[in-house]
Amino acid sequence: MLREITASDLAAWLADAGTEQPVLLDVREDWEVQLASIPGSLHIPMNLIPLRMSELPDDQTIVTVCHHGVRSYQVGLYLANAGFEQVLSLRGGVEAWASEVDPAMAHY
Which residues participate in catalysis according to the annotation? Answer: 66
Following DSSP, what letter does each residue of 62-104 receive, concatenated?
EEEE-SSSHHHHHHHHHHHHTT-SSEEEETTHHHHHHHHT-TT
Contact in structure between 102 and 10 (CB atoms under 8 Å): no
